[in-house]
Amino acid sequence: METFFVTLASGSLLISWFATPHLTSISLPKPCDAQARYDIVAAQNAKTIETAELTPFGRKETGWQIYAPQVGETIGTACAPDTRRFAANLSRWQSRNRLPATGAVDPATLTAMKVTWQRSRPFIAAFTEGCPEAASEDDLVDIGPREGWQGKQTQLHRDALANLRRMVAAARAADPRIARDKQMLTIVSAFRSPEYDAAACATRNCNGIAKARCSAHRTGTAVDLYVGAAPGQSPVSSDDENRLFQTRTPTYRWLVKNAAKYGFVNYVFEPWHWEWVGPDQQMPIPKPQKPPVFAEIFSQYSR
Ligand SMILES: [Zn+2]
């Protein structure tokens, strides 16, 4: 933020804005259209955001609009993805991450950023030793009667719930559009025991082996939040149409900017899925089960 200090004085007469104080501070935001040399690449980003063929999480996708809020947060700008400032900040991030500093969102950049995002999830790091054990019952508490989506009852790790409550209260206080919808930020799913997931997967589609054998929800610190849903879609539908709708909501945008203050990180492929990792990014993950071979599961989560 550039700040200019303006002091107006004339002889013994001190001239000032509104009489006092005589020192006036004018703050100007960094314009999003500064950095003219990024003009061409900004135009390129404006195009690829809707048209690029990408597979950041192992599934073919068109464009990168879904990831734009998290990309902006990662490179430290609130400017729109088609601006010069966005390209300039991305270029700096690419340089720091030993990528060609073009300022263009390309497959290599999105993959590198995905790795950064996934590394912030201790649950993923824990896979190197196997699937974390399920949470102890002693650590789990019931959510309140109005905290579940459509009245759902479930359990969460006590520290995760305490911090979730702080976060939801802050979100509602910060933005009336979030507060207006009473379902917003209610809990769609929280603790799920391995037995529950296995049984659910035996009777219906469960999105593959990862959820069946080792879901983050077993830790009691993962929570699926209602962040809106596209018309006719489940709030946890991974259809691109639904994910795009969700990433455009004020709720998701607020979470991207603020959830880390409350110890929550996002599985970026799923706008609804947040994991509490504690104040020092130390998720209380129980020791893994042994001796497992979880390469297949790990590849599903980290692809
Ligand atoms: Zn989830």
Tens digits of residue pLDDT in 98-121: 999 999 999 999 999 999 999 899
pLDDT for residue 162: 97
Cβ-based neighbour number of residue 19 at 10 Å: 8
- Output the CA 273–ligand 1 centroid distance in Å: 4
pLDDT at 233 over 70: yes
- Output the CA 53–ligand 1 centroid distance in Å: 26
Token representation of residue 67: 């990831």
13: helix, strand or coil: strand
- Output the CA 299–ligand 1 centroid distance in Å: 17
- Output the CA 268–ligand 1 centroid distance in Å: 11
pLDDT tens digits for range 3-20 = 333 333 333 333 333 334
pLDDT for residue 278: 83
Distance CA 29, CA 90 (A): 19
Share of the chain above pLDDT 90, in %: 68
Q: What is the mean pLDDT of the chain?
A: 85
Instruction: Count how many Cα atoms sit within 13 Å of the Cα of residue 20 in the half-sphere of its side chain.
Output: 0
pLDDT for residue 26: 62
For the chain, list the domains and their CATH numbers.
1-30 (no CATH), 36-119 (no CATH), 129-239+248-302 (3.30.1380.10)
Single-letter amino acid code for the residue at 124:
I
Closest listed residue to residue 279, CA positions, set 172, 167, 184, 142: 167
Taking every pair of Cα atoms in the chain, the longest distance, rounded to a whole number of angstroms, is 86
- Output the CA 224–ligand 1 centroid distance in Å: 5
pLDDT tens digits for range 29-49 = 569 998 899 999 999 999 999
- Output the CA 126–ligand 1 centroid distance in Å: 17
- Output the CA 2–ligand 1 centroid distance in Å: 41
Residue 263 binned pLDDT confidence (cut-offs 50, 70, 90): very high
- Output the CA 241–ligand 1 centroid distance in Å: 18
- Output the CA 206–ligand 1 centroid distance in Å: 12
pLDDT at 69 over 80: yes
Cβ-based neighbour number of residue 44 at 10 Å: 19
- Output the CA 59–ligand 1 centroid distance in Å: 18
* Total residue length of the chain: 303
Q: Which residues make Cβ contacts (< 8 Å) with residue 98, sequence separation at least 6? A: none
Residue 169 binned pLDDT confidence (cut-offs 50, 70, 90): very high
Residues, beta carbon < 5 Å, ion ligand 1: 224, 273
Beta strands in 83-220 (DSSP E): 140-142, 155-157, 187-189
Closest listed residue to residue 49, CA positions, set 32, 74, 66: 66
Q: Which residues make Cβ contacts (< 8 Å) with residue 19, sequence separation at least 6? A: none
| Residue/partner pairs of 42-50 with CB below 8 Å, 24 or more apart | 42/82, 42/83, 42/84, 42/86, 42/87, 42/103, 43/82, 44/104, 45/81, 45/82, 45/86, 45/87, 45/103, 45/104, 45/105, 46/81, 46/82, 48/104, 48/105, 48/106, 49/81, 49/82, 49/105
97: which DSSP letter?
T
Our CA angle for 77, 81, 87, nearest 5°, is 70
pLDDT for residue 194: 87
- Output the CA 63–ligand 1 centroid distance in Å: 24
- Output the CA 189–ligand 1 centroid distance in Å: 7
- Output the CA 247–ligand 1 centroid distance in Å: 16
Distance CA 22, CA 20 (A): 5
- Output the CA 43–ligand 1 centroid distance in Å: 35
pLDDT at 209 over 80: no
- Output the CA 267–ligand 1 centroid distance in Å: 8
Closest listed residue to residue 185, CA positions, set 85, 262, 128: 262
- Output the CA 131–ligand 1 centroid distance in Å: 16
pLDDT for residue 293: 41
- Output the CA 85–ligand 1 centroid distance in Å: 33
Closest listed residue to residue 91, CA positions, set 69, 106, 80, 111: 106
Cβ-based neighbour number of residue 13 at 10 Å: 7
- Output the CA 75–ligand 1 centroid distance in Å: 25
Q: Find out whether the peptide bond into 21 is cis, omega within 30 degrees of 0.
A: yes
pLDDT at 67 over 90: yes
- Output the CA 11–ligand 1 centroid distance in Å: 68
- Residues 70-87: what's their mean pLDDT? 97
Residue 206 binned pLDDT confidence (cut-offs 50, 70, 90): low
Instruction: Specify the higher pLDDT residue, 87 or 35.
Output: 87
